[in-house]
Every structure is written in C-alpha cells, then in structure tokens.
Structure 1
Amino acid sequence: MKIVIVIIFLALIGYILEQRRHIKFLERVNFNQETRHIMTEHEIFLLKHQIGTYVYSLEVLGYSQEQINKGDYTRHEPSLEKQQALYAEFQKKERIYRSKNIQFETELELRGVE
C-alpha cells in the first residue's frame, strides 16, 4: 500500500513540475508574441508616416494626391501661406514620428530586444 501511495505522490510531483515548465514556456511564447505585435504596429506606423511624407512632397511640388487619383496631373503652384501651413503640419508630424520612434526603441530595450 505504501508503494502505491509513493508512486502516486511521485506522479503528482512530476505532473506539477511539468505544469510549471509548460507555464514558463507559455509565458515566453506570450512575451514573443507581444514583442512581435509591438514591432508590427510600429512598422505600420512607419509606413503611414512614409505615405504622409510622400503626400507632403507632392503638395509642396504643387500636385494634389486626390487630383492624381482622379487622373489629373496638372501642377498648381501652392501659395506661400499654404506652403507655410504644410510645413507646420509636416513639422508637427515629424515630432510625433520622433516621439513614437523613441517610445518604440525604449519599449524594445525594456524587453531586451536588440
């Protein structure tokens, strides 16, 4: 009878140790998935910023993205006020971009990703 109890006790200890190992594995997988999610989110932000930069470049050169989408490639020289407004908006977006970039790098540093 004592042998059966010892075998059951050892089996329970083995089961508990296996569950702890499995929990650690799942935590590591979850951490990796969260890191991948953060990196993907930042990549999407970078692409949106790049598109915004291209739109800004088009507008500064006198082209409108909406007109180009309609097939009208006519150039309209932007006024000085419009250029200043575009540049102010671009500077604002650049500050946001730098801030998000620093935030992303800090997040990766905290996670131990190089």
Structure 2
Amino acid sequence: MNILIGMIFIALIGYIFEQRRHIKLLKQVNYNQETRNIMRKYEQYLLEHQIETYKFALDTLGYDRDEINKGNYTKHVPSPERLQALYEEFERKERIYRSKNIQFETELELRGVE
C-alpha cells in the first residue's frame, strides 16, 4: 500500500514538473509570436511609408497616378501653392513616421531584438 502511494506521489510530482516545463515553453512561444507581430507591423509600416514617399515624388514631379495606371504619362507641372501644400503634408507625415519609427525601435529593443 505504501509503495502504491509512493508511486502515485512520484507520478504527481513528475506531472507537476512536466506542466511547469510546458508552461515555460508556451510563455516563450507566446513571447516569440508577439515579437514577430511587432516586427511584422514595423515592416508593414515601413512599406506604407515607402509607398507614400513614391506617391509624393510622383505628385511633386507632376504625374497623376490614376492616369499612369491608364497608360497616360503626360506631365502637368503643379502650381507653387500645390507644391507648398504637398511639402507641408509630406513633412507632417515624415514627423509621424519618425516618431513611430522610434516607438517601434524602442519596443523591439526592450524585447532584446537587434
């Protein structure tokens, strides 16, 4: 009887240790997944910023994106007021981009990702 109780007790201790190991593994998997999600969001934001920069370049040079998609590559020189508005909008978006970039880099640095 004592042997049976001892075996059950040892089995329970083994089960508890296995569950603790499994919990640590799941925490590490969760941490890695969260880090991947942060990196994915960062890369997606970088791509969106790159697209916005290309759009700004086309607008500044005087090309209409909708017309380019249709195959019309005619250039229309934008007015100085339009150029000023484009530059102001680009500078505003650039400030937002820099702050988000710092935020992402800080978040990744806190997670230990280089």
Normalising by structure 2, report the TM-score: 0.98
Gaps of 5+ in 1: none
Counterparts of 1:89 and 1:66, CA distance in 2: 20
Counterparts of 2:5 and 2:34, CA distance in 1: 43
User: RMSD value over aligned CA atoms?
Assistant: 0.6
| Mapping of residues 31-42 of structure 1, within 5 Å | 31-42=31-42
- Percent identity for Structure 1 against Structure 2: 68
| Mapping of residues 49-88 of structure 1, within 5 Å | 49-88=49-88
> In the TM superposition, what is the alpha-carbon distance from 1:27 to its structure 2 partner?
0.4
Opposite residue 97 of structure 2, the aligned amino acid is: Y
Q: Which consecutive segments of 4 or more residues in structure 1 shift more than 2 A?
A: none
Counterparts of 1:66 and 1:92, CA distance in 2: 24
Counterparts of 1:20 and 1:64, CA distance in 2: 61
Counterparts of 1:64 and 1:88, CA distance in 2: 19
> In the TM superposition, what is the alpha-carbon distance from 1:67 to its structure 2 partner?
1.2
Alignment-derived partner of residue 96 in structure 1 = 96
Opposite residue 16 of structure 1, the aligned amino acid is: I
Counterparts of 1:33 and 1:96, CA distance in 2: 26
Higher relative contact order (CA 8 A, sep 6+): 2
Alignment-derived partner of residue 16 in structure 1 = 16
Opposite residue 15 of structure 2, the aligned amino acid is: Y
Name the SS for the 2:22 alignment partner.
Answer: helix
Opposite residue 47 of structure 2, the aligned amino acid is: L
Counterparts of 1:112 and 1:45, CA distance in 2: 20
> In the TM superposition, what is the alpha-carbon distance from 1:23 to its structure 2 partner?
0.4
Alignment-derived partner of residue 46 in structure 1 = 46
Gaps of 5+ in 2: none
How many equivalent pairs are there?
114
Opposite residue 95 of structure 1, the aligned amino acid is: R
